[in-house]
């Protein structure tokens, strides 16, 4: 029998509570997986509202925004990229779980019992702890997870900087739960565990007193994002910090945290943000002699090298001074505003594609995915001031106009379609002229 108190729609009060894992078992227990709402998708307005709130509070308290525009765009861009596979199929975290549940379950815990709900909360969080720890300690898993750590700012937008292929390394850590917990209960907690981790990405909340003993808080997670030596490989918890305290990886925040990778990547290109470490592993794999050493490059820590301990040497981690300046785009403010406009249009298009995914054909869905990827790449090229950005943007704007003319992008913002076509025509003329100038000067980068 269905749970009469569980709903598909999320009210404002529920939306706020779900961002802090404060939902009650009776309102979030479902008999079947199909009934479980897409809480992560429904959280979009709350992501935006909280980011705007952080911006306002930061202006009032510090007189400046909580980070840089180019960095925030790159973080949201990674968030969009990581969600695109969901347009085509169910996530591997769910398909693998369902497979284990259908073929190997040992007992069936009742889906509507609060005990099952709380046990799943603990189980998913423990699974997350071990996934996250190995994502830092195993180089091939780090290749995916490093995307999340590549921002040199630390604000709510950083939470959205997610990897496209991390999910292919995390699913296995939740499979043991499928031996006894129904998929519908697991699917709820998998989403809440992710959503909880949004609000802790802020520098505006200092210390939460006794809550710091149990919960993962902004202070604990700031340490996790630090590249100071004392921060490396610490505080892996998702919702609870108790796992770090139990397994010996806890560190409290003390000296000023400098954020980002120990070797910053200094780029806003989405593909480099996602894949640069994979390329690094590939190069290091072939440059390292011996079969065992080659395997160690893949499966030991990112700092490992022949003759070093499994997780590398802490003295090789570059020291920080606290005066580091985050990498920022050299382009003009006008161009930055242009990228924000194009990014916002893409977000509206992305939202609409998700809303229509069940009625769109596979061809149109793929076309839209390609256009979103092209837009994000072009924005990255422009922010990195690569001259090829001009030609890519000319091509992208022309493609938009063509797809719009042939009806493949309709009904994307139908009331603005004419104004949009005019806007994109102006963009084509501008970027086309820039491309011509560059062709003449042959100044490519
Ligand atoms: Zn991490
Ligand atoms: Zn984080």
pLDDT at 4: 65
Domain hosting 225: range is: 12-247
* Closest by Cα among 241, 112, 88 to 188: 112
Q: Please indicate, yes or no, if residue 267 is contained in any of the structural domains.
A: no
Q: Which residues of the chain have pLDDT under 50?
A: none
Q: Please indicate, yes or no, if residue 325 is contained in any of the structural domains.
A: no
Ligand 2 centroid to 154 CA: how many Å?
A: 9
Ligand 1 centroid to 155 CA: how many Å?
A: 15
Same domain, 377 and 239: no
Q: Please indicate, yes or no, if residue 201 is contained in any of the structural domains.
A: yes
Same domain, 243 and 374: no
φ, ψ of residue 318 in degrees (nearest 5): -55, 135
CB burial string 396-435: b at 16+ within 10 A, e below: bbbbbbebbeeeebeebeeeeeeebeebbeebbeebbebb
Ligand 2 centroid to 343 CA: how many Å?
A: 23
pLDDT at 413: 60
Which of 196, 218, 247 corresponds to the end of one domain? 247
Same domain, 347 and 234: no
Q: Please indicate, yes or no, if residue 232 is contained in any of the structural domains.
A: yes
Ligand 1 centroid to 111 CA: how many Å?
A: 31
pLDDT at 60: 97
pLDDT at 26: 95
Q: What is the rounded distance in angstroms from the CA atom of residue 299 to the CA atom of residue 281?
A: 10
Nearest ligand, measured from the Cα of 259: 2
Same domain, 78 and 176: yes
User: Is the peptide bond between 411 and the residue preceding it cis, with omega within 30 degrees of 0?
Assistant: yes
Nearest ligand, measured from the Cα of 132: 1
Ligand 2 centroid to 47 CA: how many Å?
A: 15
Ligand 1 centroid to 426 CA: how many Å?
A: 43
* Closest by Cα among 373, 370, 368, 379 to 412: 368
Which of 247, 270, 301 corresponds to the end of one domain? 247
pLDDT at 439: 84
pLDDT at 417: 76
Q: What is the rounded distance in angstroms from the CA atom of residue 189 to the CA atom of residue 39?
A: 10
Q: Please indicate, yes or no, if residue 65 is contained in any of the structural domains.
A: yes
Same domain, 351 and 220: no
Q: Please indicate, yes or no, if residue 300 is contained in any of the structural domains.
A: no
Q: Please indicate, yes or no, if residue 277 is contained in any of the structural domains.
A: no
Ligand 1 centroid to 419 CA: how many Å?
A: 43
Q: Provide the domain count of the chain.
A: 2
Q: Please indicate, yes or no, if residue 365 is contained in any of the structural domains.
A: yes
Nearest ligand, measured from the Cα of 222: 2
Ligand 1 centroid to 34 CA: how many Å?
A: 31
Which of 223, 247, 271 corresponds to the end of one domain? 247
């Amino acid at each position: 029998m269905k749970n009469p108190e569980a709903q598909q729609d999320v009210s404002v009060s529920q939306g706020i509570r779900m961002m802090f894992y404060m939902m009650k078992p009776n309102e979030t227990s479902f008999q079947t997986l199909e009934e479980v709402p897409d809480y992560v998708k429904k959280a979009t307005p709350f992501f935006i509202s909280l980011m705007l709130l952080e911006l306002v509070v930061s202006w009032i308290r510090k007189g400046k925004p909580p980070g840089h525009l180019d960095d925030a765009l790159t973080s949201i861009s990674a968030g969009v990229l990581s969600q695109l596979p969901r347009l085509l199929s169910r996530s591997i975290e769910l398909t693998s779980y369902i497979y284990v549940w259908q073929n190997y379950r040992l007992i069936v815990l009742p889906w509507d019992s609060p005990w099952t709900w709380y046990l799943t909360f603990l189980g998913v969080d423990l699974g997350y702890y071990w996934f996250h720890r190995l994502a830092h300690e195993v180089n091939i898993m780090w290749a995916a997870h490093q995307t999340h750590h590549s921002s040199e700012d630390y604000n709510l937008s950083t939470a959205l900087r997610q990897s496209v292929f991390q999910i292919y390394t995390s699913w296995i850590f939740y499979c043991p739960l499928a031996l006894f917990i129904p998929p519908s209960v697991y699917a709820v907690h998998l989403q809440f565990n992710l959503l909880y981790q949004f609000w802790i990405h802020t520098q505006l909340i200092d210390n939460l007193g006794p809550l710091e003993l149990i919960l993962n808080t902004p202070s604990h997670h700031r340490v996790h994002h630090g590249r100071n030596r004392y921060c490396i490989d610490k505080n892996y918890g998702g919702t609870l910090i108790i796992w770090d305290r139990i397994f010996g990886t806890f560190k409290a925040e003390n000296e000023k945290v400098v954020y980002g990778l120990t070797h910053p990547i200094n780029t806003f290109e989405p593909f480099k943000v996602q894949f640069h470490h994979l390329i690094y592993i590939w190069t290091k794999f072939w440059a390292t002699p011996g079969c065992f050493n080659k395997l160690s490059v893949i499966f030991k820590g990112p700092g490992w090298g022949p003759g070093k301990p499994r997780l590398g040497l802490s003295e090789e981690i570059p020291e920080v001074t606290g005066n580091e300046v985050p990498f920022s785009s050299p382009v003009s403010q006008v161009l930055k505003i242009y990228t924000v406009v194009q990014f916002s249009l893409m977000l509206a298009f992305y939202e609409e594609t998700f809303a229509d995914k069940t009625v769109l054909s596979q061809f149109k869905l793929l076309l839209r995915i390609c256009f979103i990827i092209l837009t994000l790449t072009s924005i990255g090229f422009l922010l990195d001031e690569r001259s090829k950005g001009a030609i890519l943007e000319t091509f992208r704007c022309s493609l938009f106009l063509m797809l719009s003319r042939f009806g493949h992008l309709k009904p994307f913002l139908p009331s603005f379609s004419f104004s949009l076509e005019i806007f994109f025509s102006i963009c084509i003329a501008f970027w086309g002229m820039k491309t011509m100038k560059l062709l003449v000067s042959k100044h490519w980068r």
